[in-house]
Amino acid sequence: MTAREPSMPLRAWPRCDQTVAWSALSGHAQVHGRDLDLRQLFRDDPHRVQRLSLQAPEVWADLSRAHWDLATQRHLLDLARECGLAEQRDAMLRGELVNRTEGRAVLHTALRAPRGQAPFSDVVHAELDRMLAFVAGVRAQAGGTQPGDIHDIVHIGIGGSDLGPQMVAAALSTWVHPGLRLHFISNVDGQELASVLPALHPDHTLFVVASKTFTTQETLANARAARQWFLDAGGRDVARHFVAVSADPRRAADFGIGTCFAFWDWVGGRFSLWSAIGLPVALALGGDAFRALLTGAHDMDRHFAEAPLEANLPVWLGLLDVWHRNFKGYSSRCVSPYAQGLKRLPAYLQQLVMESNGKSVDADGRVLPYATSDVVWGEPGTNGQHAFFQMLHQGRDVIPVEFILVGRPAYPDADVLSAELKDLLRVQHESLLANALAQAQALMWGKTEAQALREASPTAAPGVPAEVIARHRTFSGNRPSLTMLLDALTPRSLGALVALYEHRTFVSGAIWGINSFDQWGVELGKALCQDLLPRLQSGDTQGLDAATAATIGRLRQGRDGA
């Protein structure tokens, strides 16, 4: 199967804000949205959780504490139908050129479909088999003492060629081969690579240079530096210790790397961890674990493709994002995984969501009058409680919080832990979960001034009336959150979770009528940098704007003075 010409014109559906459903939602927001109080909604409907929670493959989600109700959801589902959400989804899955500004299909789903069940299945599985055969060879000697036995894998890439593999490797660190260490180098700041090199030996290091275009300045600079180190350190066989991953193998060969694992232009960078970009994950975890990751994502793909919109978790979440963003006016969301292994998930989601939907024109190039992507940020819990939860509870802005919980913990070498230590760690995991539950409860129920007054001790702050203290200790409550629960963090459950976020991002982008799959916004800075780099080196600020010229001058002054 191959990519297909678009079956739909650029503007195939009414713009979302010109639909009947959008008007209904606007009216709904006026009547129900403004004074919506979660506490009252739960009092009015004892079945609210059952009605607004949903089990998808590997992921259970409770959306009952989001700022919506069943009537809201019905209007949003009407909006999805008026905007042709299902038709847009099916066109993407069929391999139509839905990335219209780049003339490409969008088929990251084909990377994880079983043989014969998606477009391009033959080439996908041929390259996957080839990559995993290479992986098996490296892992068979991993940690060995012979030259060429690999101990360290240094993955060089940035953006979608870094964030996905790094996030997965961190999440599944307990599955990593005991003889292998993974290092991720992305920033053009040489400090990152230089900090890793001293611990490496050229005979036991494999460099993976990952770049879809193989033109990204950061990646090529780090690859050149890594190669220089390798030769300086007495490395003898570049071909054996450097492999590439790219959609442009010719450029990789021109750079001097003979082994290249390929992927294709219909795989967006931020959707590419399922392709050969996932090579470091496969090396670290093994082929079976990598295939399980793909299976989990495929499970979610099938749910997204087949479940009716009314019982489709990516659809629920994407529509809720539209409601929170366009009708409640929430401009950011905090993703707080209560699982340290998911510490890189917020960073991964920043690219997935904000590079996909941080757009201001629709398919026709018309500037949109309504908001699109919110700002995604966050850190794992419980750390966030000691950093920014103050603002989430008592700030002026309402910021929906996404709690991601993992029921069962996983620890490296669990079988060598003593019974006493296992028991302590078990209690810590229960404390982690209890903290997440408490934060969601506090956000929703808050604390009244009367409750705070009853608790205030008269000597709390000498000279400050108890009423004043109480007002500082009042929590408005009625703050929205989502809870997502994985029974355990495994390759399969992680694959499903990430695919859930991919499809959720597609849903809101499709409703907004934007192209979620290009990223023209990153090009201007890259182009300007090409002009500024030599100027920084030469000091020539002729024709530059005053601010840039002044900064260059100050930098050079400081450098000359060093």
- Of 385 and 519, the one with the shorter C-beta distance to ligand F6P is 519
Going by C-alpha positions, the residue among 26, 342, 286, 308 that lies closest to residue 171 is: 342
- Of 55 and 213, the one with the shorter C-beta distance to ligand F6P is 213
The residues, ordered by sequence, that sit 6+ positions from 507 with a Cβ below 8 Å of its Cβ are 80, 85, 89, 314, 315, 317, 318, 319, 321
CB of 380 to ligand F6P, least distance (A): 24
Q: Is 357 in the site for ligand F6P (CB under 6 A)?
A: no
CB of 522 to ligand F6P, least distance (A): 4
Cα separation, 533 vs 539, in Å, equals 10
Which tokens in the block code for residue 365?
């190039």
Q: Is 269 in the site for ligand F6P (CB under 6 A)?
A: yes
Exactly one of 201, 386, 422, 472 is catalytic; name it. 386
- Of 62 and 355, the one with the shorter C-beta distance to ligand F6P is 355
- Please identify which residue in 10, 199, 424, 522 interacts with ligand F6P, judged by CB under 6 A: 522
Q: Is 263 helix (H, G, I), strand (E, B) or coil?
A: coil
Angle between helices 546-561 and 523-538 (to 10 degrees): 50
Q: Are 370 and 17 in contact (CB under 8 A)?
A: yes
Q: Is 519 in the site for ligand F6P (CB under 6 A)?
A: yes
CA dist list (Å): 53 to 49, 58, 123: 6, 14, 39
Going by C-alpha positions, the residue among 211, 164, 206, 212 that lies closest to residue 188 is: 211
- Of 419 and 524, the one with the shorter C-beta distance to ligand F6P is 524
Q: Are 156 and 279 in contact (CB under 8 A)?
A: no
Assess whether 218 carries a catalytic annotation: no
CB of 141 to ligand F6P, least distance (A): 29
Q: Is 139 in the site for ligand F6P (CB under 6 A)?
A: no
Going by C-alpha positions, the residue among 56, 55, 52 that lies closest to residue 300 is: 56
- Of 158 and 283, the one with the shorter C-beta distance to ligand F6P is 158
Q: Is 213 in the site for ligand F6P (CB under 6 A)?
A: yes
Going by C-alpha positions, the residue among 478, 470, 473, 480 that lies closest to residue 445 is: 478
Q: Is 159 in the site for ligand F6P (CB under 6 A)?
A: yes
CB of 153 to ligand F6P, least distance (A): 18
Report the 10 Å Cβ neighbour count for 506. 25
H/E stretch holding 232 = helix 217-232
Exactly one of 201, 422, 472, 526 is catalytic; name it. 526
b/e burial code for range 60-81 (CB count within 10 A of at least 16 → b)? bbbbbbbbbbeebbebbbbbbe
- Please identify which residue in 19, 88, 109, 211 interacts with ligand F6P, judged by CB under 6 A: 211
Cα separation, 128 vs 121, in Å, equals 10
Assess whether 526 carries a catalytic annotation: yes
Q: Is 222 in the site for ligand F6P (CB under 6 A)?
A: no
* Pattern 307-346, ligand F6P, x by CB under 6 A: ----------------------------------------
Q: Is 212 in the site for ligand F6P (CB under 6 A)?
A: yes
**Beta partners for residue 408, in sequence order:** 488
Cα separation, 126 vs 110, in Å, equals 13
Q: Are 342 and 534 in contact (CB under 8 A)?
A: no
Assess whether 467 carries a catalytic annotation: no
- Please identify which residue in 88, 161, 336, 385 interacts with ligand F6P, judged by CB under 6 A: 161
- Of 220 and 437, the one with the shorter C-beta distance to ligand F6P is 220
Q: Is 160 in the site for ligand F6P (CB under 6 A)?
A: yes
- Please identify which residue in 79, 105, 150, 158 interacts with ligand F6P, judged by CB under 6 A: 158
Going by C-alpha positions, the residue among 208, 219, 202 that lies closest to residue 242 is: 208
- Please identify which residue in 64, 219, 312, 336 interacts with ligand F6P, judged by CB under 6 A: 219
* Pattern 402-441, ligand F6P, x by CB under 6 A: ----------------------------------------
Q: Is 202 in the site for ligand F6P (CB under 6 A)?
A: no
- Of 211 and 508, the one with the shorter C-beta distance to ligand F6P is 211
Biggest alpha carbon distance in the chain?
77
- Give the start-end residues of each E strand in 456-513: 481-488
- Of 523 and 560, the one with the shorter C-beta distance to ligand F6P is 523
The DSSP-derived string for 87-111 is HHHHHHHHTB--BTTTTB---GGGG
- Of 156 and 440, the one with the shorter C-beta distance to ligand F6P is 156
Which residue stretch of 46-54, 197-205, 207-215, 235-243 sits at the interface with ligand F6P (rule: CB under 6 A)? 207-215
Which residue stretch of 210-218, 235-243, 405-413, 484-492 sits at the interface with ligand F6P (rule: CB under 6 A)? 210-218
Beta-sheet strand order (sheet of 152-156): 181-185, 152-156, 205-210, 242-246, 259-262
**Beta partners for residue 209, in sequence order:** 156, 244
Exactly one of 58, 127, 355, 379 is catalytic; name it. 355
Q: Are 218 and 186 in contact (CB under 8 A)?
A: yes
Cα separation, 499 vs 293, in Å, equals 10
Q: Is 216 in the site for ligand F6P (CB under 6 A)?
A: yes
Which residue stretch of 95-103, 209-217, 297-305, 306-314 sits at the interface with ligand F6P (rule: CB under 6 A)? 209-217
Residues with a catalytic annotation lie at 355, 386, 526
What is the binding site for ligand F6P (CB under 6 A)?
Answer: 158-161, 211-213, 216, 219, 269-270, 355, 519, 522
